[in-house]
Chain A
Amino acid sequence: MALTREEATQIRKVALEVRQDIVRMVHAAGCGHPGGPLGMADFMSTLFLQHLNLSSDNRLSDDRDRFVLGNGHTCAGYYALLAQKGLIQREELLRFRKLGSQLQGHPHRNLELGIDFSTGSLGTGLSVAAGMALGARLNSWDSRVYCTSSDGESQEGQIWEAATSAAHWGLGNLTVLVDFNNIQIDGRMREIMDVRDLEAKYSAFGWHAVTVDGHDVIAVDQALCAAKETTDQPSAIIAITTIGKGVSYMEDTSAWHGVAPNDEQLAQALEELGAAVS
Chain B
Amino acid sequence: MHQLAPLSKGANQKIATRAAYGQALLELGNQHQDVVVLDADLSGSTKTAVFGKAHPDRFFNCGVAESNMMGAAAGLACTGRKVFASSFAMFATGKAWEPVRQSICIPQMDVKICASHAGLTVGEDGKSHQMLEDITLMRVLPHMKVIVPADSVETAEAVRLAYETPGPVYVRLSRASTPVIFGDEYRLELGRGAILRDGSDICIAACGVELAEAMIAADILANRNIEARVVNLACIDPIDVDLIVDSAEHCGAILTAEEHQIRGGFGDAVAQVVVRHHPVPMDLVGMDDSFGQSGPASDLIRHYGLDGPSLADRAETLMQRKER
- Report if A164 contacts B (CB, 8 A): yes
A50 interface contact, C-beta 8 A: no
- In the complex, which residues 123-146 of chain A have their Cβ closer than 8 Å to any Cβ of chain B? 123-136, 138-139, 141
Residue A158, interface by CB 8 Å = yes
- The reply to whether A165 and B62 contact each other, CB–CB distance below 8 Å, is yes
Q: For B79, give its contact among A126, A127, A139, A168 (CB under 8 Å).
A: A139
Judging by beta carbons under 8 Å apart, are B71 and A162 in contact? yes
Query: Cβ of B75 and Cβ of A134 under 8 Å apart?
Result: yes
B67 close to A134 (CB less than 8 A): no
The CB with the most chain B CB atoms within 10 A, among A109, A118, A123, A131, is that of: A131
Q: B78 touching A130 by the CB < 8 A rule? A: no
Partner of B72, one of A66, A121, A128, A139: A128
Known: A124-B102, A138-B36, A138-B58. A158 touches B80 (CB 8 A): no
A132 contacts B79, C-beta separation under 8 Å:
yes
Name B99's closest neighbour in chain A (CB-CB).
A124
Contacts of A120 in B (CB 8 A): 102
Complex CA gap A128/B106 in Å reads: 13
Given contacts A121-B102, A138-B36, contact A116 B68 (CB under 8 A): no
Indicate if the CB atoms of A131 and B74 lie closer than 8 Å. yes
Q: B74: which of A108, A123, A128, A158 is its contact (CB, 8 Å)?
A: A128
Contact of B81 with A by CB under 8 A:
yes
**Do the beta carbons of A134 and B60 come within 8 Å of each other?**
yes
Q: In whole angstroms, how far apart are the Cα atoms of A139 and B58 in the complex?
A: 11
Nearest CB in chain A to that of B62: its residue: A165
Q: Are B60 and A169 in contact (CB under 8 A)?
A: yes
Kindly identify, within residues 93 to 135 of chain B, every residue whose CB is under 8 Å from any CB belonging to chain A: 98-99, 102-103, 106-107
Q: Which of A62, A118, A135 contacts B103 (CB 8 A)?
A: A118
Closest to B74 in A: A128
Give every chain B residue within 8 A of A109 (Cβ-Cβ).
Answer: 106-107
Among A116, A124, A135, A168, the residue within 8 A (CB) of B76 is A135
B65 and A164 within 8 A (CB):
yes
**B78 to chain A: which residues have CB within 8 Å?**
66, 116-117, 128, 131-132, 135
For the complex, give the distance between the alpha carbons of A237 and B147 in Å: 43
Residue of B nearest to A109 (CB): B107
Question: Does B26 touch A at the CB level, under 8 Å?
Answer: no
Residue in A118, A127, A157 whose beta carbon sits within 8 Å of that of B106 in the complex: A118
Chain A residue numbers with a CB within 8 Å of B77 are 131, 135
Q: Is the interface of A mostly helix, strand, loop or mixed?
A: helix
- A161 part of interface (Cβ distance < 8 Å): yes
Chain A neighbourhood of B81, CB < 8 A: 135, 138
- What is the distance, in angstroms, from A205's C-beta to the closest C-beta of chain B? 13
B81 nearest CB neighbor, chain A only: A135
With A108-B107, A138-B58, A161-B65 already in contact, the answer to whether A124 and B71 are too (CB < 8 A) is: yes
A121 and B99 alpha carbons, distance in the complex (Å): 9
B67–A128 touching, CB < 8 Å: no
**Contact between B106 and A131, CB atoms less than 8 A apart:** no
Which one of B62, B71, B79, B106 lies within 8 Å of A135 (CB-CB)? B79
List B206-236 residues whose CB lies under 8 Å from chain A.
Answer: none
Interface residues, chain A, with chain B CB atoms under 8 Å away: 62, 66, 108-109, 116-121, 123-136, 138-139, 141, 157-158, 161-162, 164-165, 168-169
10 extra A-B contacts, CB within 8 A, seeds A131-B78, A158-B71: A62-B79, A127-B74, A133-B75, A134-B72, A134-B75, A157-B67, A161-B67, A161-B68, A164-B63, A165-B62
Task: Please name 20 pairs of A and B residues whose Cβ atoms are closer than 8 Å in the assembled complex, sorted by A.
Answer: A118-B107, A121-B102, A124-B102, A125-B71, A127-B75, A131-B71, A131-B72, A131-B73, A131-B74, A134-B72, A135-B79, A138-B57, A138-B76, A138-B79, A141-B79, A158-B99, A162-B71, A164-B63, A165-B68, A165-B72
Binding site for A on B (CB under 8 A): 36, 57-58, 60, 62-63, 65, 67-68, 70-81, 98-99, 102-103, 106-107
